[in-house]
Structure 1
Amino acid sequence: MIRLQSILILLMVGLVTAGCGNRTELNDLGITTATGFDRKNGKWIITYQIIVPPASSSIGSSSGGSQSPVNTFSSEGRTIREAVAQSSVENPKRLYFAHTNIVLIGEEAARYGIAEIMDHYYRNIGSRESAKLIIADGQAREYLEKLIPPEKQPGRALSEILERNNEKGSYYPVMNIHEVGLKITSDSGSAGIPGVTTDTPGDNKQSSIDIFKETSIPGNLRLQGLSVFLKDKKIGVLNQKESMGIAWLTDRVNWTNLTYTAAKGEVNSFLVRKAKVKVVPVKKGLHYAVQVDAKVDAELDESTSGEDIARTHTIHELQRQAEQVIQAQILDGWRGNQRLHVDMMGIANKIHQRHPKEWKVLKDNWSSELAQMDININVNVTLKRVGLLQDSFSKLLGEEKD
C-alpha cells in the first residue's frame, strides 16, 4: 500500500512539473495576423502586423480608444529567417504566426520570385500554408500600415474582402500558399494571385486611429488585377474581365452577376447561382484543341425589357443572350492566357495524366503548342427564376403612358 502511494505521488509530481516546465505566457506572444514581404537592395524586408489585444477589443471605449488595434514594424535580412531573427532587436514579444490570415507580397518581391517565401512557409512548423496570398501594387509595408474601418485588424479586413469577392463576384480567386505551391510546381507551372491597390498610396492618414472617426475613407483598398506567375516569378497582370474568364475556365465561379445591353437597348442582369465547367484537351491532327462545356443555373435579377418575360420564347431568348455573355467572358480569359504564354487552366497537367507519352514530346515546346491552340466553347444556361415581377417595371410604365 505504501509502495502504491509512493508511485502515485511520483506520477503526480511528474505531471505537475511537465505541465509548467515549458509554458509560454499569452502576453509574451506577438500574434501576427498579416505578414508582408518586400525586396530592397538585395535584402528581404518583412513587415509584421501584430494584434494589440486591449485596443482590438475596445476601439472607441475609454480603455482602448487611444491605442491602435495593431502594431506594425519591419525587419530586414539577406534571408527570410535572418530577417525574422532581426525582429528580436526591436520587438519585445515572440512572434507567433499560427493566426496569420494574409501574406502580402510587394511588387518588387513578386518580380524577384517567391521561391524563398514558399520554402519558408513549407519548412517551418510555426507557419501556415493556408494563409491567403495577395500581391501589392507597390510595397507590401505601405498596405499593412493602413487601418481599414470598420474592421479593427487590417489583415483580417483584407481576408474578408477576398472571401466576399469569392462568394458574391468570383472576379478574383482566393489563393492560399499551398494552392499556389501546387500550381507553380505542376506541369502547367503557372498561377494567378489577386492584387490589391489604393487611390492614395502615399497617404498616411489611414495609419492613425482617427480614421475610425471618419464616415468615409479617403483611399479604400480594393482588389484590382490578377498577377500571373510563371514558376515563382510574376510575369504580367490580367484585368478583371480576363480574370473572370479564367475563373470560368478553372471552374471557380460561385455566385456572380452578368449584366449586358441587348439589341433593342434593354439592360438585363442575371445572378449566376451555380456553374459547372469542364475544360478538356482534344487531339486534332498533330495538335491539341480545347473543348469547354459550361452548365449554368441563373436567375433574372433586373430587366428593362419591354417583352413579356413569362413567355417561353422570351425566356429562351434571355438564356441565349446570357450564354453569349459567358462565352465572351471565357474568350477574354483565354486570350489573356495566350497573351502571357501561360497555362492557367492546367491543360498540361491533363495531357500528361491522360497521354504521358505524348506529353514527353510536347513539354519542351509547350509554350508554342499552347499559343496555336484553338478553343471551342459550349455554354448552356438555364433560367430558373425570373423573379416576383412578371413584366419589367419599364414595361409597366410604358403601358400606363399608352
Structure 2
Amino acid sequence: MAKKAAVLMLILFVASLLAGCWNRKELNELGIAVAAGVDMEEGGRYRLTVQVVDPGQVASQQGGNGGAPATLYTSEGDTIFEAARRITQISPRKIYFSHLRLFLIGESLAKRGIGQMLDLLSRDHEFRTDFYLVVTKGTTALGTLKIMTPLEPVPANKLFSSLETSEENWSPSLSVTLDELIDNLTSQGKHPVLTGLVITGDPQMGQTKKNIANIYTPTQLQYSGLAVFKKDKLIGWLDEKESRGYHQIHKGVKSSVVFIPCPEGGKVAVEYIRGKTNVKGKVVQGQPRIDIQVEIEGNIGAVGCKKLDITDTATIAKLEKEVEARIIDFVEETIDKAQTKYRVDIFGFGEVVRRADPKAWKAMKNNWDEEYFTHLPVAIRADFVIRRIGTISDSFLNQTKE
C-alpha cells in the first residue's frame, strides 16, 4: 500500500512540473511574419526584410482604419541572425517566423552564395520547413516585399497561392521547400533550381495604394523563369520555354497548354490533363546514359483555324505527333542549355545513374558535372494522346462567310 502511495505521489509531482507552457507567448506579444527576404548589400552586410501581418486590418472587411494589411521591418547585420535581432529595435513585437509562407532570396545574395542563409533557416527552431523559397530577378527582396497586391490583401499570401497555381496549371514555375532545397544542395548528383520573381511596371507606384485602387493593377509581382545554381551560387536563368522543359523532366507536367500552328494560319490550343515522366539511367561500357519517357493525356482546348476537321482520326493523330515533337523540343532545349552553357546537372541525372549502378557511380561522382554530364547522351520519347475534342466537333469558323 505504501509503495502505491509513493508511486502516486511521484506521478503527481511529475505532472505538476508538466503543467502549463513554460515558453508560451501571447498573440498580442508577437508579430506574425508571413514573408521574409534577404539581400546582400554592397558592403557585404546582410539586409533582412520581414513582412508582418496586421490582424486587425485583415479581419475587418472594411479594411480597419484604412491602414495597410501588413507592415515591413528591415535591418542590416554582419550575419542574418544579427539583422534579425536588430529588427527588435524598430518592431514593437517579437517577430515570430513559424507561420512563414514565402522566403525571398535577393539576386545579389544568390550570386554570392546562399549557404549561410540556409544554415540559419534550418538551425533555428522557429522556422518550419514548409515555406517556399524564390529568387528575386532584377530587383531586391526588400523592393519586392513592398509591392501591394490585389485580391489577396497580404502580398505573401498572393505570392504563395500564385506559385502553387502557376505550377499546377501552367508549368514554368516550381514550388521548392527548405528541405527540398537543402536535399538538392547536399546531393552529389544534382544542383538546385528555384523560381524567379520579377516586378512588372513601376516599382514606386506598386508601393502605394494607388496600385490596387482601380480595376487594373499597373504594377504586379510575376513569377518568371527558373534560377540555376551551381552548388549554392546563382549562375544563370532558364527562360519560360526552358523552365517548362525542366518541369517536364523534374516532376512531369500534369496540367498545361501547348499551341500548335495551323497550315493556313491560326493555332490549335491543346490542354494537358494528366501526365507522368519516367527517367531511367544505365551504364553501358563505362558510359552513363539517360532515357526519358513522357506520357501525357490531353484535350482540344480551342481551334483557331479554318479547314481543320478535328473529327477526322487522321487529323487527331497528326496533332498528337506535333504535340509530341513540341514536348521533345522543350526538353531537348533545356538539357542542351544545362550541358553547354551552365555545365551543371540540375535534373538529378547523376542520382538516377547512382540508383541504376551504384558501383559505377562511385567512379564518376567526383567528376560528374565536368566529365560526364556535359557529354551525357539523353534519349527522349513522348507519347501524347488526345482524349476529348470538346463539346462541339466542327468549329463554327468553318461555317462563317468568306
- TM-score, normalised to structure 2, is 0.91
**Cα distance in 1 for residues equivalent to 2:290 and 2:24:** 57
Change (3 A) 1:211 1:56: farther
Q: Note if 1:389 corresponds to 2:353.
A: no
Summarize the alignment of residues 107-146 of structure 1 with structure 2, pairs less than 5 Å apart.
107-137=107-137, 138-146=139-147
Q: Note if 1:373 corresponds to 2:360.
A: no
Q: Note if 1:309 corresponds to 2:332.
A: no
Asked whether the 8 Å contact 1:77–1:86 carries over to 2, the reply is: yes
Q: Secondary structure at the match of 1:279?
A: strand
Summarize the alignment of residues 163-202 of structure 1 with structure 2, pairs less than 5 Å apart.
163-200=164-201
Summarize the alignment of residues 191-270 of structure 1 with structure 2, pairs less than 5 Å apart.
191-200=192-201, 203-270=203-270
CA drift at 1:52: 0.9
Give the match for residue 153 of structure 1: 154
**Cα distance in 1 for residues equivalent to 2:171 and 2:83:** 36
Change (3 A) 1:27 1:377: same
Give the match for residue 361 of structure 1: 363
CA drift at 1:211: 3.4
**Cα distance in 1 for residues equivalent to 2:28 and 2:100:** 18
Asked whether the 8 Å contact 1:166–1:254 carries over to 2, the reply is: no
CA drift at 1:30: 0.3
CA drift at 1:117: 1.6
Letter of the 1:364 counterpart: N
Asked whether the 8 Å contact 1:147–1:154 carries over to 2, the reply is: yes
Change (3 A) 1:20 1:296: closer
- TM-score, normalised to structure 1, is 0.91
Instruction: Extract unaligned runs of 5+ from structure 2.
Output: none
**Cα distance in 2 for residues equivalent to 1:88 and 1:370:** 48
Give the match for residue 282 of structure 1: 282
Instruction: Extract unaligned runs of 5+ from structure 1.
Output: none
CA drift at 1:294: 0.9
**Superimposed CA distance per residue, residues 132-167 of structure 1 (whole angstroms, 9 cap, x where no aligned partner):** 011012210001111111211111111111011012
Give the match for residue 90 of structure 2: 90
Asked whether the 8 Å contact 1:30–1:51 carries over to 2, the reply is: yes
Give the fraction of aligned pairs with identical amino acids, expressed as a percent: 26
**Cα distance in 2 for residues equivalent to 1:393 and 1:284:** 55
Asked whether the 8 Å contact 1:251–1:278 carries over to 2, the reply is: no
CA drift at 1:265: 3.2
Change (3 A) 1:132 1:242: same
CA drift at 1:393: 2.4
Give the match for residue 53 of structure 1: 55
**Superimposed CA distance per residue, residues 340-382 of structure 1 (whole angstroms, 9 cap, x where no aligned partner):** 1111221111212222221122223222311112222111111
Q: Secondary structure at the match of 1:216?
A: coil
Select between 103-112 and 264-273 the one with higher mean Cα deviation. 264-273
Q: Secondary structure at the match of 2:223?
A: strand
**Cα distance in 1 for residues equivalent to 2:17 and 2:293:** 63
Q: Secondary structure at the match of 1:204?
A: helix
**Cα distance in 2 for residues equivalent to 1:294 and 1:255:** 13
CA drift at 1:289: 2.7
**Cα distance in 2 for residues equivalent to 1:313 and 1:145:** 54
**Cα distance in 2 for residues equivalent to 1:81 and 1:276:** 42
Change (3 A) 1:17 1:115: closer
Q: Secondary structure at the match of 1:278?
A: strand
Asked whether the 8 Å contact 1:189–1:343 carries over to 2, the reply is: yes
Q: Secondary structure at the match of 2:153?
A: coil
Letter of the 1:77 counterpart: G
Give the match for residue 37 of structure 1: 38
**Superimposed CA distance per residue, residues 267-290 of structure 1 (whole angstroms, 9 cap, x where no aligned partner):** 111110111111222334442232
CA drift at 1:254: 2.1
**Cα distance in 1 for residues equivalent to 2:325 and 2:397:** 24
**Cα distance in 2 for residues equivalent to 1:16 and 1:294:** 58
Letter of the 1:336 counterpart: K
Asked whether the 8 Å contact 1:310–1:391 carries over to 2, the reply is: yes
CA drift at 1:213: 2.1
Select between 99-108 and 52-61 the one with higher mean Cα deviation. 52-61
**Cα distance in 2 for residues equivalent to 1:309 and 1:52:** 54
CA drift at 1:23: 3.7
**Cα distance in 2 for residues equivalent to 1:127 and 1:135:** 19
Give the match for residue 273 of structure 1: 273
Q: Secondary structure at the match of 2:20?
A: helix
CA drift at 1:192: 1.1
Asked whether the 8 Å contact 2:35–2:51 carries over to 1, the reply is: yes
Change (3 A) 1:205 1:265: closer
**Cα distance in 2 for residues equivalent to 1:233 and 1:364:** 19
**Cα distance in 1 for residues equivalent to 2:233 and 2:21:** 46
**Cα distance in 2 for residues equivalent to 1:300 and 1:21:** 60
